[in-house]
Amino acid sequence: MLKVLIPTVMMFPTIWLISPKWLWTGTIAHSLSIALVSLTWLKWTSETGWASSNMYLGTDPLSTPLLVLTCWLLPLMILASQNHINPEPISRQRLYITLLTSLQAFLIMAFGATEIIMFYIMFEATLIPTLIIITRWGNQTERLNAGTYFLFYTLAGSLPLLVALLLLQQSTGTLSMLVIQYSQPLLLDSWGHKFWWAGCLIAFLVKMPLYGVHLWLPKAHVEAPVAGSMVLAAVLLKLGGYGMMRMMIMLDPLSKEMVYPFIILALWGIIMTGSICLRQTDLKSLIAYSSVSHMGLVAGGILIQTPWGFSGAIILMIAHGLVSSMLFCLANTAYERTHSRTMVLARGLQLIFPLTAVWWFIANLANLALPPLPNLMGELMIITTLFSWSPWTIALTGAGTLITAGYSLYMFLMSQRGPTPNHIMKLQPFHTREHLLMALHLIPVILLVAKPELMWGWCY
């Protein structure tokens, strides 16, 4: 654990002491080396399930894929931000990279925590750098409004979780994930216990987000700079899914009857947010709503509590993290050139940037779950699990899959095909940096096709 956490902390002096000329090169090289070291976690040797370096930090097969995803994303975020942060004063550039690095440090400690209360503290700590990135480096004046939404939705959801955790500590005497799974199941029968159950999960359902408490997400995504959007879509939403998986183990007796409304809401959300996507004119907003739709499927898979559901959920979380991050990068490359996120005003780009159109095409196919990509594997496992729970769910998940295909096609046709508008002139050519960025998103997805057990081996 420390082999990644210590180099991440060592990035802070690097960022502030390195000469301005080497700032971007040095930080990208440093963060990429951390990402490469984190790949050693995938070689799993422990028999007991946990490999811990001390009492408070450890990895198990559930947190390992998410930790590697977190480490892999930092160099990509720095790479994506280089163009639009470069004109700023050097101190602000350093501050921006510092915030991204601190976000990675908090996320490593959140996913690696063995104490639930430490996970909670790190879960909340990720709010601060994200909020500064959105409100300071966002594009429009609405960024303050988006930051307020983001902060208050997340805080209002997670304060009941703190009370629920303190009650759990009082009744079991421990909050260690290593011990708590072996403790006596709680006798949960009163109304108070039902509120406690809801308190344990609502924070994570807001973070995922579940349809109904999702309004902060499109706002935050649209207003955030590219690195903010990437980390939000790729890792911060996954904190919600990870937290739910950890908590569902303890909530067992009550969950049988309590999960019904949440599963129904998650499945209904797939249909509703997919339909909203078909009406979007703003490119980033469309990708944000598609994230809500995919995370609804993940929420359904986790709430059912079967090994297939859990496996499908984690596979879909990893695959969606890489693919939606790639889509936000592509949207940003178009925005940096045309200065518009409205799809009608920046269409027909295939004629000007043919290779970029190929990246768009592949990213869209991955988003709509093309075989044999992990997106399809995760979706199929969750849909199968939901079908065995209740055959009626196939109507909702099937319609959701069709709508996903519809809005993906709509997004590709609106941004790449059609006549090029007359006002699009003198666009910068694409940089090698941007092609590298897309390749680094796509290569892990393709490699996971060859070895999917890196993500799902933990259930069996």
- pLDDT, residue 121, reads 97
- Helix, strand, coil proportions of the chain in percent (round to 5)? 75, 0, 20
**Planar angle of CA 360, 363, 365, nearest 5 degrees:** 105
Question: At residue 47, does pLDDT exceed 70?
Answer: no
Nearest alpha-carbon partner for 286 in 182, 411, 163, 192: 411
Map tokens 């811990």 to a residue: 52
The set of residues, in sequence order, having a beta carbon less than 8 Å from that of 399 and lying 6+ positions away, is 271
3-class secondary structure, 444: helix
Top-confidence residue, 459 or 270 = 270
How far apart CA 126 and CA 50 sit, in angstroms, is 24
- pLDDT, residue 436, reads 96
**Cα→Cα distances 422→10, 177, 230, 241, 453, Å:** 50, 60, 31, 45, 50
pLDDT band at 277 (very low <50, low <70, confident <90, very high): very high
pLDDT digits (tens, 9 = 90+) for 286-317: 999 999 999 999 999 999 999 999 999 999 99
- pLDDT, residue 460, reads 39
Top-confidence residue, 185 or 415 = 415
Map tokens 């207003």 to a residue: 223
pLDDT band at 459 (very low <50, low <70, confident <90, very high): very low
pTM beyond 0.85, yes or no = yes
3-class secondary structure, 58: strand
What is the mean pLDDT of the segment spanning 319-326?
96
Whole-number average pLDDT of the chain: 91
Which spans in 305-353 are helix H? 307-338
Q: Which long-range contacts does 145-152 make (Cβ < 8 Å, 24+ apart)?
A: 145/219, 145/223, 146/216, 146/219, 146/220, 146/222, 146/223, 146/224, 147/220, 147/223, 149/215, 149/216, 149/219, 149/220, 150/216, 150/219, 150/220, 151/127
pLDDT digits (tens, 9 = 90+) for 129-173: 999 999 999 988 899 999 999 999 999 999 999 999 999 999 888
pLDDT digits (tens, 9 = 90+) for 209-226: 999 999 999 999 999 999
Question: At residue 392, does pLDDT exceed 70?
Answer: yes
CB atoms within 10 A of CB 7: 17
The set of residues, in sequence order, having a beta carbon less than 8 Å from that of 302 and lying 6+ positions away, is 241, 244, 245, 248, 309, 310, 313
3-class secondary structure, 392: coil
Which spans in 18-142 are helix H? 23-38, 63-85, 90-112, 116-125, 127-137
What is the mean pLDDT of the segment spanning 248-270?
88
Map tokens 């109304």 to a residue: 191
Q: Which two tokens stand for residue 332?
A: 């940003």
CB atoms within 10 A of CB 319: 27
For helices 374-389 and 393-416, the axis angle rounded to 10 degrees is: 150
- pLDDT, residue 410, reads 93
Top-confidence residue, 383 or 452 = 383
- Contact at 8 Å (CB) between 255 and 318? no
Cis before residue 89, ω within 30 degrees of 0? no
